[in-house]
């Protein structure tokens, strides 16, 4: 709008839009008097006059083509019919998403009214339930990663890794080069590359050798003394457990930070980023009790040392005492956030991912160290058995001989991978993941969800599928 001769005039440059003038309806918040008052302020007498400059041919003067209303039972019937079109598959796939069991008590706790919001609880006095589970989440994630502190939280593991990169640059001040291993999951790599491009970060990939990071090449790049940080994955995209002995010391000797991305569940048995001497731990925490639900939701974790606390984005909840001496919880370190610093904030992360934090906190509290160890022990045994039996089927061979793995591994397949996966899908299985950039490699994963009977059926189906795909 602009003023001409003291009157407001309207300009609608988007002439390709179609407008539908809707009459006031009973569920609109504004009364007829409210509308008249607003129209009076802008200097028009009616809604028709307000839109009078819109050409008649652009106005939609008929009823919208919407289906008639349904009763609750009819809606449930329609939704149920749609749900039946979903085809549940037994998953032997991983590559970042893992089919772990969610104990029934976890969704029950998450449904409690005390834990009702995923948004930042700025009013601490009425948000104690939300603040408490975020505090517990932070405490357990810091313990799991061996770091001093955890935030709460990130959208997913990819953005958490990108934020770790940004923390390295922010801490270095005059350096903007970050090294990242090519053994990262390509999906994570693409997100990190996007962040780097639009934040002016010089992201340099470190090559891989025999499925693991080429440490010789990495050390050579550090010698330039212009690196802000190093990003490595554990286990990596191929499921291999890498050896990072001495890497943190090498990074710190050249004034660079080390960030390790780890699949969260694996931290129940693997050496933690803190034990490796890392400055930042990041990754995806979906494996901690969050079910696989057609592509989401996920939750990224980001943990660090006390020295980097002011460089870390996201929520931080602290424990304190109230005026009566009772334990309570509050938001802390808010000076980093958008609602205070605006464009100077550490990050644009706003939503706390609170519901997912609650799932993870409930899962970890229920499982404990012993339970998490048992989950990994069962997954380890299943994965190693599957690999051994797959190598006995025609067409499968070692991809990275002798490399250690936990619950995920990569094999070479001499047949048509797409045809094999299509066949197995028809048989009710998600048959691994075709490794990006590797036309003949498949990544398989096993969790505690997979039974001996499922594995037998899966292997029989593969043997049948190989006969059809080996020569395609």
Tell me the per-residue pLDDT of 399-417, one tens digit each, with 9 for 90 and over. 999 999 999 999 999 989 9
Instruction: Give the pLDDT confidence score for residue 154 in this predicted structure.
Output: 85
Between CA 415 and CA 396 the distance in angstroms is 9
- Is pLDDT of 419 > 60? yes
Instruction: Give the pLDDT confidence score for residue 10 in this predicted structure.
Output: 44
Q: What is the CATH code of the structural domain delimited by 105-365?
A: 3.40.640.10
Q: What is the band of 210 on the pLDDT scale with cuts at 50, 70, 90?
A: very high
DSSP symbols for 53-69: TS-GGGB--S----PPP
Long-range pairs of 129-132 with CB within 8 A, sequence gap ≥ 24 = 130/354, 131/317, 131/329, 131/330, 131/331, 132/329
Nearest to 10 by CA among 64, 59, 50, 68: 50
Q: What is the band of 345 on the pLDDT scale with cuts at 50, 70, 90?
A: low
Tell me the per-residue pLDDT of 436-458, one tens digit each, with 9 for 90 and over. 988 899 999 999 999 999 999 99
Mean pLDDT over each residue of the chain, to the nearest integer: 88
Which residues of the chain are in CATH 3.90.1150.10 domains?
Answer: 90-97+369-469
- Is pLDDT of 385 > 70? yes
Which residues of the chain are in CATH 3.40.640.10 domains?
Answer: 105-365
Looking at the domain 90-97+369-469, which fold is it?
A: 3.90.1150
- Rounded to two decimals, what is the model's pTM? 0.82
Tell me the per-residue pLDDT of 429-439, one tens digit each, with 9 for 90 and over. 998 899 998 88
Tell me the per-residue pLDDT of 97-107, one tens digit each, with 9 for 90 and over. 999 999 999 99
**Per this entry, what is the length of the chain?**
472
Tell me the per-residue pLDDT of 116-172, one tens digit each, with 9 for 90 and over. 665 666 677 778 888 899 999 999 999 999 999 998 878 899 999 999 999 999 999
């Amino acid at each position: 709008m602009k003023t001409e001769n003291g009157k407001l005039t309207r300009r609608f440059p988007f002439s390709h839009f179609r407008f539908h003038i809707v009459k006031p309806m009973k569920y609109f918040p504004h009364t007829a008097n409210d509308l008249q008052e607003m129209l009076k302020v802008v200097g028009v007498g009616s809604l028709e006059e307000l839109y009078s400059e819109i050409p008649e041919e652009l106005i939609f003067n008929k009823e919208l083509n919407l289906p008639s209303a349904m009763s609750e039972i009819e809606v449930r019937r329609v939704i149920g019919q749609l749900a039946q079109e979903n085809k549940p598959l037994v998953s032997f796939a991983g590559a970042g998403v893992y089919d772990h069991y969610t104990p029934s008590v976890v969704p029950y706790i998450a449904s409690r009214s005390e834990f009702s919001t995923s948004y930042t609880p700025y009013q601490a006095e009425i948000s104690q339930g939300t603040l408490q589970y975020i505090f517990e989440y932070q405490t357990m994630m810091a313990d799991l990663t061996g770091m001093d502190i955890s935030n709460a939280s990130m959208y997913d593991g990819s953005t958490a890794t990108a934020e770790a990169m940004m923390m390295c640059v922010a801490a270095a001040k005059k350096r903007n080069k970050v090294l990242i291993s090519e053994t990262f999951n390509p999906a994570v790599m693409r997100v990190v590359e996007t962040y780097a491009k639009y934040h002016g970060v010089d992201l340099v990939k470190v090559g891989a050798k025999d499925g693991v990071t080429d440490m010789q090449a990495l050390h050579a790049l550090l010698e330039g003394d212009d690196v802000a940080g190093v990003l490595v994955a554990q286990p990596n995209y191929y499921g291999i457990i890498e050896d990072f002995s001495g890497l943190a010391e090498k990074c710190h000797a050249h004034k660079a930070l080390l960030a390790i991305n780890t699949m969260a569940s694996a931290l129940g048995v693997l050496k933690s980023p803190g034990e490796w001497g890392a400055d930042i731990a990041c990754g995806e925490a979906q494996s901690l009790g969050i079910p696989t639900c057609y592509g989401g939701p996920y939750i990224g974790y980001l943990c660090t040392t006390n020295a980097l606390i002011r460089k870390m984005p996201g929520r931080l909840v602290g424990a304190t005492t109230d005026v009566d001496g009772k334990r309570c919880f509050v938001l802390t370190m808010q000076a980093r956030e958008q609602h205070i610093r605006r464009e100077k904030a550490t990050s644009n992360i706003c939503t706390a991912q609170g519901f997912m934090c609650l799932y993870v906190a409930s899962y970890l509290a229920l499982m404990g160290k012993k339970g998490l160890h048992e989950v990994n022990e069962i997954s380890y045994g299943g994965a190693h058995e599957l690999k051994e039996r797959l190598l006995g089927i025609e067409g499968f061979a070692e991809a990275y001989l002798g490399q250690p793995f936990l619950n995920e591994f990569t094999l070479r397949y001499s047949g048509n991978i797409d045809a094999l996966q299509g066949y197995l899908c028809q048989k009710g299985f998600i048959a691994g993941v075709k490794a990006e950039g590797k036309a003949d490699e498949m990544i398989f994963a096993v969790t505690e969800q997979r039974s001996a009977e499922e594995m037998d059926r899966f292997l029989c189906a593969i043997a049948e599928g190989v006969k059809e795909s080996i020569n395609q």
